[in-house]
Amino acid sequence: MKNNEYIFETSWEVCNKVGGIYTVLSTVAASLQEVYGKNLFYIGPDFHVGNSSLFKEDPKLYADWVKSAAAEGLKVRVGTWNVPGKPQVVLVDFHSFDNQKGAFLFQLWQAYSIDSMNMGQDYENNVMFSYAAGRVIESFGNFYKINKAKTVAHFHEWQTAPGLLYLKLNNLPYKTVFTTHATTVGRSICFNNKQLYQYFNNYNGDQMSFELGVKAQHAVEKHGALKADCFTTVSDITARECLQMLGKAPDVVTPNGFETGFVPKGAKFNQSRNDARAALRKVAETLVGYQLADDAVYVGIGGRLEYRNKGIDVFIEAMRSLNQEIGLKRQIVAFILVPDWINGPRKDLQEKLQNPKQKYQFADVTTTHELHQPQYDSVMQGINYFQLHNNENDKVKVFFVPSYLDGNDGIFNKVYYDLLIGLDITVFPSYYEPWGYTPMESAAFSIPTVTTDLTGFGLWVSKGVESIANGVAVLHRDDNNRNELVEAIKNEVLAFSQFSDKQVAECRAKAKSIADKAQWSDFVTYYEQAFAFAKGEKFKPLKKEPAPAKKTVAKKEAENPAKTAPVKKAVAAKKTEAKKATEKTAETKKTAKSATGKKKLNSSKK
């Protein structure tokens, strides 16, 4: 890439940790940085929080342009994002364009029939942020006279599609990429407890967007997909959804990878795991008022609070089933690490954690933070319905951690990864999951995990059902097999609880091995492919393309000598046959006399 050609990555979640897209962008940064260096920029919303743990402003960085942009009405701060790679970031104050909101929304209506009436402040904030991002790209390009026709502006999710449309409406020659990580209509169908898969081929995206109240979000997403120079999504399962709901198949599928820089190594890994486990145990024992078993199995589920989509409902039911399982010999300690609507950390729990000698018993022995209206909370309703009350004689204990784990939650004061590492096994039985970062993250931290074949990651791991002994269990899920799925989850956790230490170690190693095949250092090539497609160029990877995972005979033999011995013998026999064939060919070449014959032989070799 030449010095005057750039990559602009735009998302509402740049330096803004609110959802799964944050994980995508923050983990791919180092690999993109390795390919594009200082020609890579991220653009995100500025909430004026100064230098945070995520963003560090550098007033000297592009200071001349920042001054020029201010004269254009653009209020920006430039710095670095505190993630591996530390990429350059432009944060833009989109509220400075509030006086232009009506005019831009009218443009979208006039050009694309996008009806933004009565869509609310959240929708308008996203639209105006993406408009401001488009203005940032335009301003930077003009100031530095960059090669716009060879510069890629990459927009993530419907929230930024209006920025792409701004570039198109103003005939700016930037090459655009639009990525939907999940279609608005597909997610809304599932969120409203409708059956996505059974009636999949009968859904009309436009019609459903009206019915579900997401017509404007769907419209900007659809036009972003149709107008982009390259349209991408993250998995084959979502590619099918895009074709059905948006009327366009993706040009390139860009599967999500993971950056192993987030995973501690060596002695630090073991220390982090011990610290996390101690923290989980301390909080759990403080809540229930009695000691947990030393050999307890720590199980977890995390992600957004999408009770059905993320499979939280079947996870809770599976814990009830496990609690009633006669064959369960070890204690199960389950943590639901899902942010919810809270007032903050529980004051009584904080006090008892600081003064463990206090003898009083809590009425609430389940939650770590104070919920708004817990009687109406879906997670608590599930826990109570299945009578998971954390009695001392219960085999399964369930704890609900309803706070963002950003290191300042008031109870654990650890980020999500620093608690995840302390678990023994995780369960993410999603109904709707375009990719599935949570099981991938778990595997990257050597935590065996359970997922389903309705996730992009699950299908990437295996096209068929896999057990937990594989490191990543992939369970079948559809619209009608809830009871079977609950039983399958119970059986996988039960099987893991019965593993010997050696089997656990093997299982952890297999989970890590699977995650190692999904690193961004390999998957970044799909981004390169999308950028080349947008520019109309032949794809020439700057990074080596990921090869399919293959086990050598030696590795297979190490895993199962009895099973692989015949394979090794067959390979040796084929080598002998090949050697004989080579000798025969050499003899034929010696006896060939005619020049024509030699030419034919050489042609056949080519």
- Same domain as 271, residue 246: no
**Residue 568 in this model has a pLDDT that exceeds 90:** no
CB–CB of 396/284 below 8 Å?
A: no
What's the domain range around 339?
A: 260-516
Write out pLDDT tens, residues 79-105.
Answer: 999 999 999 999 999 999 999 999 999
- Same domain as 329, residue 435: yes
Tell me the C-alpha distance between 339 and 342, whole Å: 8
The answer to the question of residue 524 being in a domain is no
Nearest to 44 by CA among 125, 148, 139: 125
Count the alpha carbons within 13 Å of 77 in the hemisphere toward its beta carbon: 19
pLDDT band at 564 (very low <50, low <70, confident <90, very high): very low
Tell me what the mean pLDDT of segment 504-514 comes to. Answer: 97
- Same domain as 223, residue 346: no
Tell me the C-alpha distance between 427 and 198, whole Å: 24
Tell me what the mean pLDDT of segment 259-275 comes to. Answer: 93
The answer to the question of residue 534 being in a domain is no
- Same domain as 275, residue 226: no
Tell me the C-alpha distance between 311 and 320, whole Å: 15
Locus of tokens 């991938």: 440
258 vs 9, higher pLDDT? 9
Which pLDDT score is estimated for 346?
Answer: 97
Which pLDDT score is estimated for 465?
Answer: 84
- Same domain as 474, residue 373: yes
Instruction: Show Cβ contacts of residue 495 under 8 Å, excluding neighbours closer than 6 positions.
Output: 467, 468, 469
Write out pLDDT tens, residues 54-66.
Answer: 999 999 999 999 9
CB–CB of 525/545 below 8 Å?
A: yes
334 three-state secondary structure: strand
The answer to the question of residue 529 being in a domain is no
Please tell me the total count of domains within the chain: 3
**Residue 430 in this model has a pLDDT that exceeds 70:** yes
The answer to the question of residue 525 being in a domain is no
- Same domain as 180, residue 103: yes
- Of 192, 220, 253, the residue that ends a domain is 253
- Same domain as 226, residue 90: yes
What is the token pair recorded at 226? 């149709």
How many CB atoms within 10 Å of residue 581?
A: 10
Dihedral, CA of residue 12, residue 417, residue 384 and residue 468, to nearest 10: 110
β-pairing verdict for 252-253 and 449-452:
unpaired
Which pLDDT score is estimated for 296?
Answer: 98
Tell me what the mean pLDDT of segment 588-596 comes to. Answer: 42
Nearest to 188 by CA among 141, 138, 245: 245
The answer to the question of residue 92 being in a domain is yes
Tell me what the mean pLDDT of segment 408-433 comes to. Answer: 97
Tell me the C-alpha distance between 458 and 476, whole Å: 10
**Residue 590 in this model has a pLDDT that exceeds 60:** no
pLDDT band at 601 (very low <50, low <70, confident <90, very high): very low
What is the token pair recorded at 191? 């969120």
Which pLDDT score is estimated for 58?
Answer: 96
Query: If residue 426 lies in a helix (H) or strand (E), which one and from where to where?
Result: strand 425-427
pLDDT band at 51 (very low <50, low <70, confident <90, very high): low
Tell me what the mean pLDDT of segment 371-380 comes to. Answer: 96
Write out pLDDT tens, residues 340-359.
Answer: 999 999 999 999 999 988 87
Which pLDDT score is estimated for 261?
Answer: 81
Write out pLDDT tens, residues 454-496.
Answer: 999 999 998 888 999 999 999 999 999 999 999 999 999 999 9
- Same domain as 106, residue 126: yes
Instruction: Show Cβ contacts of residue 481 under 8 Å, excluding neighbours closer than 6 positions.
Output: none
Tell me the C-alpha distance between 159 and 362, whole Å: 43
The answer to the question of residue 540 being in a domain is no
Compute the C-alpha angle 253/255/258, nearest 5°.
160
Instruction: Show Cβ contacts of residue 141 under 8 Å, excluding neighbours closer than 6 positions.
Output: 6, 148, 151, 172, 174
396 three-state secondary structure: strand
- Same domain as 406, residue 484: yes
Instruction: Show Cβ contacts of residue 558 under 8 Å, excluding neighbours closer than 6 positions.
Output: none
3-class DSSP string for 222-276 = HHHHHHCCEEEECCHHHHHHHHHHHCCCCCEECCCCECHHHCCCHHHHHHHHHHH
Tell me the C-alpha distance between 211 and 477, whole Å: 26
**Residue 591 in this model has a pLDDT that exceeds 80:** no
The answer to the question of residue 139 being in a domain is yes
- The one-letter code for the residue type at 150 is K
- Of 501, 516, 531, the residue that ends a domain is 516
pLDDT band at 443 (very low <50, low <70, confident <90, very high): very high
Write out pLDDT tens, residues 126-140.
Answer: 999 999 999 999 999
- Of 235, 253, 271, the residue that ends a domain is 253
Tell me the C-alpha distance between 416 and 577, whole Å: 56
- The percentage of residues in the chain with a pLDDT greater than 90, rounded to a whole number, is 82
Query: If residue 603 lies in a helix (H) or strand (E), which one and from where to where?
Result: helix 595-605
Tell me what the mean pLDDT of segment 262-291 comes to. Answer: 96
Which pLDDT score is estimated for 538?
Answer: 85
Instruction: Output DSSP code: residue 547.
Output: P
CB–CB of 81/29 below 8 Å?
A: yes
- Same domain as 135, residue 59: yes
- Same domain as 509, residue 398: yes
3-class DSSP string for 492-517 = HHHHHHCCCHHHHHHHHHHHHHHHHC
**Residue 376 in this model has a pLDDT that exceeds 70:** yes
Which pLDDT score is estimated for 360?
Answer: 80
CB–CB of 36/30 below 8 Å?
A: no
Q: What is the CATH number of the domain that holds 19?
A: 3.40.50.2000
Q: For the chain, what is the mean pLDDT?
A: 89
**Residue 119 in this model has a pLDDT that exceeds 90:** no
**Residue 13 in this model has a pLDDT that exceeds 80:** yes
pLDDT band at 542 (very low <50, low <70, confident <90, very high): low
**Residue 604 in this model has a pLDDT that exceeds 80:** no
- Same domain as 452, residue 473: yes
Which pLDDT score is estimated for 547?
Answer: 43
What are the angstrom distances between the C-alpha of 375 and each of 192, 317, 370? 21, 18, 12
The dihedral sign for the CA sequence 180, 181, 187, 188: negative
Tell me what the mean pLDDT of segment 36-48 comes to. Answer: 94
Q: Residue 170 — φ and ψ, nearest 5°?
A: -100, 15
What is the token pair recorded at 34? 């390795």
Which pLDDT score is estimated for 417?
Answer: 95
113 vs 359, higher pLDDT? 113
Strand partners, 176: 153
Sequence-ordered alpha helix ranges (H) in 456-560: 456-461, 482-497, 501-516, 520-535, 553-559
The answer to the question of residue 422 being in a domain is yes
Return the biggest CA–CA distance within the chain.
101
42 three-state secondary structure: strand
